Amino acid sequence: MRLEPRQIEAFKRNGFLAGLPLLSDDACTRFQQRTEAFEQQYPDAAQWAFDIKANLLFDWVYEISVTSALLDAVEDLIGPNILLTNSIFRIKPPGSNTHYGWHQDAARIQVEPPFILAYLAISNATRANGCLRVIPGSHRTVEPFRLISYACNRKVARTIDVDERLAVDLILNKGEVALFHCNTIHGSGENLSHRPRVALINDYTPADARQSTGTGSGQLVRGVNKGTGFMSEKVPVGAFTLDNILARRRTLMRYPENVLMGPLESGEQPTFADDLPQSG
């Protein structure tokens, strides 16, 4: 899935690309079945396990995130040395009022060179079920924002004064991917349909990048990591094992200032959700 020069230029101009074919129907079906099976087996853990660095917990999340065709497209945008720095589920059940306000992912902790996000449509993404919406050209600067409380013990930035008339709906078929710049303003609405909207969003960061605050971490998925701004993370063995849960915990404790959690206040201790005793 190498990008054509016109696609690269469009990404630089608009801050996103959408509708790139990636996954087969069978691959999407298997992924969704595994997702639903986990939710049924571990209903209390699904919220935190799917929310931050799921790529450290599930081998099947990691495997789909390192699909060669996907990494080819990412390489065309950020270069040959690539870190997978986060995988996060975005699931909206039928009739769900879950929605995400306008935001820029690198508003609180800026990353240079910038990372990109890949939205993998495990199911169709439509206006009716709350597809991703973006503001073209908004990636050139970080806009003013306010902080609001969110799930799993964290706060998130919400961009102020967005002109929604400029928004573009990223309507995707099952198996397609959308790529967007970490500073592209985006959000999504409620799922008013009778089917779930299932997606996985991955962050891919140049290995030589540095954060404006703190030290990042990621899994090297292509090339080499000779930088000092992002430390190495383990590749998961198996799915939701104790070793994987503890590896995720150690990562979040040692490198807590990531773009999802934001910077720590003076004297603040890292906080995140998992189901193990905190002394474990």
Whole-number Å distance between alpha carbons of 38 and 119: 21
Whole-number Å distance between alpha carbons of 196 and 129: 8
Specify the DSSP element, H or E, that contains 239: none
Instruction: Let me know if residue 269 belongs to a domain.
Output: no
Contact indicator for 183, 111 with CB cutoff of 8 Å: no
Res 214 pLDDT > 70: yes
pLDDT of residue 149: 83
Asked if residue 256 has a cis previous peptide bond (ω within 30° of 0), the answer is no
Instruction: Let me know if residue 57 belongs to a domain.
Output: yes
pLDDT, tens digit, for every residue of 239-270? 999 999 999 999 999 999 999 999 999 999 89
**Closest of 97, 165, 92, 101 to residue 126, by C-alpha:** 92
CATH number for 194:
2.60.120.620
Whole-number average pLDDT of the chain: 95
pLDDT of residue 280: 41
pLDDT of residue 153: 62
Q: What percent of the chain has pLDDT over 90?
A: 91
Of 153-157, 171-175, 201-205, least confident by mean pLDDT is 153-157
pLDDT, tens digit, for every residue of 94-150? 999 989 999 999 999 999 999 999 999 999 999 999 999 999 999 999 999 999 987
pLDDT of residue 278: 60
Res 222 pLDDT > 80: yes
Strand partners, 188: 100, 132
pLDDT of residue 98: 87
Core vs surface per residue 107-127: b (16+ CB within 10 A) or e? bbbbbeebbbbbbbbbbbbbe
Instruction: Let me know if residue 219 belongs to a domain.
Output: yes
Instruction: Let me know if residue 261 belongs to a domain.
Output: no
Give the global pTM: 0.96
- Total tally of structural domains belonging to the chain: 1
Q: Identify the band that residue 271 occupies on the pLDDT scale cut at 50, 70 and 90.
A: confident
Residue ranges making up the domain that contains 189: 5-254
Residue 9 half-sphere exposure toward CB, CA atoms < 13 A = 3
Q: Tokens 């997606």 belong to which residue?
A: 199
β-pair type (216-222, 210-211): unpaired
Instruction: Let me know if residue 248 belongs to a domain.
Output: yes
Res 162 pLDDT > 80: yes
pLDDT, tens digit, for every residue of 32-89? 999 999 999 999 999 999 999 999 999 999 999 999 999 999 999 999 999 999 999 9
Instruction: Let me know if residue 220 belongs to a domain.
Output: yes
Res 155 pLDDT > 60: yes
Instruction: Let me know if residue 264 belongs to a domain.
Output: no
DSSP 125: B
Instruction: Let me know if residue 268 belongs to a domain.
Output: no
